[in-house]
Structure 1
Amino acid sequence: MQRPYEDAIVCVTGASSGLGRAIATGAAGQGARAVIVNYAGNAEGAETTAEAVRAYGAQAVTVQGDVGTDEDCRRIVAAAAPFGRIDALFNNAGKTRAARYDDLDALGADDFLDIYRVNVVGPYQMTRAARPLLETSDRAAVVMISSIAGVTGGGSSIAYSASKGALNNLAFALARALAPRIRVNALCPGFMDSPWFDKLGSARARIREGIAQRTPLQVASTPEDIAGSALFLGSPASRHVTGETLLADAGLHLVGG
């Protein structure tokens, strides 16, 4: 039985840890021939991801780059050029700045522009740069890693929530623009117990427990839990799915998460 990513060429932005790493290693485990592992600043983490990819027998190419910069996006995509195509592009890189929702002075225009630069403009630039290699594939897919915040208006800050709502709309618009050669979908995870929460120290376990109690499925998801949904959208298994927003939040949106 053929594996979902057999012989696939995959590119994952923000793959040095968390969901990006889980997607990269998951694709390798499902048969990918090569994975482009992008990172912004965590070179050590990117190499850890690359080693995990290679452990599955796939090639791994690490590429430093800020997706908010068009030149960097083109350089990331160029790493896939020797393979002749890109079968699945996962626009996973993102950023936020935490701020209370009722404190409208906590975020300024520069904060919004910086978050949008990475969370919205970055995926657009990556998709634009990758388009020629994606169109060479007979199973091309782009997966925007968004957030339940873009659906419910929650999340770490208003700027982050707004950027993810924009990303969901971008996926919809690009699905129309790039059809029929390229499918584009958005994935909206909820809480993920990822390294982003390391800075919270002892509060991390308390938050994880609280999330598990709130969600209908009574779990606190890990990146590995969510990677399967991302990989589904990037694989031929979803070949008739485009312009969709998939919520993978253990049902948190059902209780206003």
Structure 2
Amino acid sequence: MAGKDFDGFVVLVTGGSTGLGRAIAVETAARGAEAVIINYASSQAEAEETARQVESHGAQAVLVQGDVGEDADCRRIAAAAEPFGRIDALFNNAGVTKFAPNHADLDAVNADDFLRLYQVNVVGAFQMVRAARALLEAGDRAGAVVNTASIAGVTGIGSSVPYAASKGAMNTMTLSLARALAPKIRVNAICPGFIDTPWFGKAMPDDTVARMREGVIRSTPLQAASTAEDIAGAAVFLASPASRHVTGETLLVDAGTHLGFASLSMR
């Protein structure tokens, strides 16, 4: 933790009800944020728990339901920050997937899967930036956008081909927006690897998730299955004053997964 480097910040987190979104919301509150706007699509009870944790750190929590795949919802979510006059940090964390881990099974996914994943993971993030642009530009410092991409978008692995493709598109969009919106807005992305959250449990039996977790620990150079809190620090760094000269960056936060599964040494 870096003290109170978010002192007075107004933060907006999409997909903030659970997992990484919750961890980001709580971390920014713990670091001094004045207000944290928590977007959720359907998990109201879980979003309320995020709000409770945010408020325990002294920040104001604002809950906003909405699907980032819908432009009208994005505009309503961003409007929740209008009473504060600005957005200092927008975390585009909302995302969906289709579980089809055997990428060779081309019949496991279809055009509708691609369209739905792109609508939320790519178009949704774009729409949120567009809706929040004026508020991101309204502060004394450059507004910060942090996109939650994935190691899948860098290496082509992950829960399905459409998911990996959508995260690759998000990485490219991060570059485009960083160039287009400078100097008033910084745009960066994090690329997490495996995150040990309920995300996988929604589609897989507990014993399968446990085997996956052990496999991740064995195969990553840092021998770790990252938690949401492990990843949140990197996301929050990219929105903090410490990264004020960083834009257009994609930061891999994957315990070394991108280094490959074989230990190589010079002999």
Q: 1:223 to 1:145 in 2, by over 3 A?
A: same
| Equivalent position of 2:55 in the other structure | 54
| Equivalent position of 1:107 in the other structure | 109
Deviation of the 1:2 alpha carbon: 6.1
Distance 1:2 1:50 in 2: 21
Q: Does 1:217 align with 2:222?
A: yes
Contact 2:3/2:31, CA 8 A, preserved across alignment? no
State the secondary structure of the residue aligned to 1:141: strand
Q: Which moved more, 1:97-106 or 1:167-176?
A: 97-106
After TM superposition, the structure 1 = structure 2 runs for residues 107-186 of structure 1, keeping only pairs within 5 Å, are 107-137=109-139, 138-186=141-189
Structure 1: tracts of 5 or more residues without a match: none
Letter in 1 for 2:216: I
Q: TM-score, normalised by structure 1?
A: 0.98
Q: Does 1:234 align with 2:200?
A: no
Distance 1:181 1:148 in 2: 28
Q: 1:256 to 1:135 in 2, by over 3 A?
A: farther
Contact 2:194/2:226, CA 8 A, preserved across alignment? yes
Deviation of the 1:95 alpha carbon: 0.3
Q: Which moved more, 1:105-114 or 1:197-206?
A: 197-206
Residue-by-residue CA offset, 1:53-109 (whole Å, 9 max, x unaligned) = 000000000000000000000000010100000000000000000112011111111
Deviation of the 1:4 alpha carbon: 1.5
Residue-by-residue CA offset, 1:200-245 (whole Å, 9 max, x unaligned) = 3122222111101100001000000000000000111100000010
Distance 1:177 1:198 in 2: 38
Deviation of the 1:154 alpha carbon: 0.2
Deviation of the 1:198 alpha carbon: 2.5
Distance 2:246 2:3 in 1: 20
Contact 1:139/1:236, CA 8 A, preserved across alignment? no
Contact 1:152/1:256, CA 8 A, preserved across alignment? no
Contact 2:24/2:232, CA 8 A, preserved across alignment? yes
Distance 1:152 1:180 in 2: 30
Contact 2:219/2:261, CA 8 A, preserved across alignment? no
Deviation of the 1:149 alpha carbon: 0.2
State the secondary structure of the residue aligned to 2:64: strand
CA RMSD of aligned residues (A): 1.2
Aligned residues: 257
State the secondary structure of the residue aligned to 1:250: coil
Deviation of the 1:145 alpha carbon: 0.3
Distance 1:256 1:160 in 2: 22
Distance 2:66 2:254 in 1: 29
| Equivalent position of 1:87 in the other structure | 88
Residue-by-residue CA offset, 1:185-205 (whole Å, 9 max, x unaligned) = 010000000011224312222
Distance 1:180 1:256 in 2: 39
Q: TM-score, normalised by structure 2?
A: 0.94
Deviation of the 1:256 alpha carbon: 5.8
Give % identity.
64
